[in-house]
Every structure is written in structure tokens, then in C-alpha cells.
Amino acid sequence: MKDEPGGEPGGEPSVEPADELDGLRARQLIEWLATSAASLCRSCRAALCAHELLFASALGHKRQPACSACLARELDSSAAGLRSHLRAHFERRHCFRAAWRHADERELDCALRAVRPATGPADAALAIEVPPDEEWDAGDLACGELVLELRLKMRALPPGATLELCATDPGAPEDLPAWCRLTGHELVLARAPRYRIRRPRA
């Protein structure tokens, strides 16, 4: 029997399986969260919330979980960028999407409930309210030239600074997010042809 979404805290997990196997994986992940509730980060020994446990699980650290800040340091990335990238991944995976919703329902005061994928509405609002540190009109530069020039421009920025670019090449909507994932940069906004990218803080 399928559970209704938005269940009361302490009730049965809200799971809407795309198919039977997806539902099983979601329930297993939610059960693991329950048994791992008292876990500490293996590096800094901070208490891990259910959201942090999901980040660790997605990166293959179920047995020895770590907080997203420590995981980001290990991956030479920014914590905010890593969280945003993983949330985008969760949106495409039913089991993680259901487990994240379960964590939201149980941990109402957790700051990570607000974490959203890098292309969400909150990021668009941020882009309007906060101006970028630098702007660049890349025109129709194709993938190779685009990412080479982008790499140089991001290197010239201080850690944590943002670059907003306009890129009209048809491949940019796929090339730029992929480049950010590979290099650890945070894609703050992606609304073709406009993209905002933040350099890692560390």
C-alpha cells in the first residue's frame, strides 16, 4: 500500500515508488537513516543529521559517514557546491528524493532542509538580488574554447567569487554543468543563456 506524502513526524515514511524496486530502495534508505541517527562525522566528530547522512551515502560512505564539509575537503570542492550538486542528483533518483523528504519531515529545524539544486527558483532569486563579481559574454564559443577560457577567468577570481556568463552555444546547457561538477565549482544559476558560477572557497 502506498503511503501518502507529507505524513506526520513519527508516522510511516512518505514513499511514492516509481516502481516496486524504487520503493524498496527508498524504504531501505529510510530504515538506514533511522539506525544511523546517532552517527558522528568520522573526521571532525560532529553529529550528523539525516540530510548529511544522505550526502555521505550518495558518495559511497555509508559505513564511515562524514559531514559534507569534510567530504568537500577530501574532494577538493566547496561544501555548498557539493551539497547543491548532490541535491540535483537526488532530484533524479526516487529513493534519495523520498529519503530527503522523509528527513525534511523529521528534522524540521535542520538548516539543510533549505538546500536546493543549483537550478532551482531560490537560486534565480539570489541571482537577481546579489550581483556577480564579474561578467563575461562568451557569445557562441563552442565547448573546447568555452571551458578553456572559463578556466582562466575563474582562476583570476578570488575564492568564493562569482562569474556570470552569457553563452549561446547549443551545447552550453550540458557542457557548463558538467565542467562545474568535474572541477568542483558551484553552478549557482543555470537559465540559458545565463549561467552563474562560484569559485570554491578553499
Residues recognised as catalytic: 143
Does residue 163 contact residue 153 with C-beta atoms inside 8 Å? Answer: yes
Q: Which three cell numbers stand for residue 153?
A: 577567468
Phi and psi angles of residue 40, each rounded to the nearest 5 degrees, phi first: -115, 150
Q: Are 4 and 14 in contact (CB under 8 A)?
A: yes
Q: Where are the beta strands (DSSP E) in the chain?
A: 134-139, 162-167, 186-191, 194-198
157 contacts 133 by C-beta, under 8 angstroms: yes
CA distance 66 to 46: 9
CA distance 73 to 69: 6
Collect contacts of 44-50 with beta carbons under 8 A, ≥24 apart: 44/69, 44/70, 49/103, 49/107, 49/110, 49/112, 50/99, 50/102, 50/103, 50/106, 50/107, 50/110
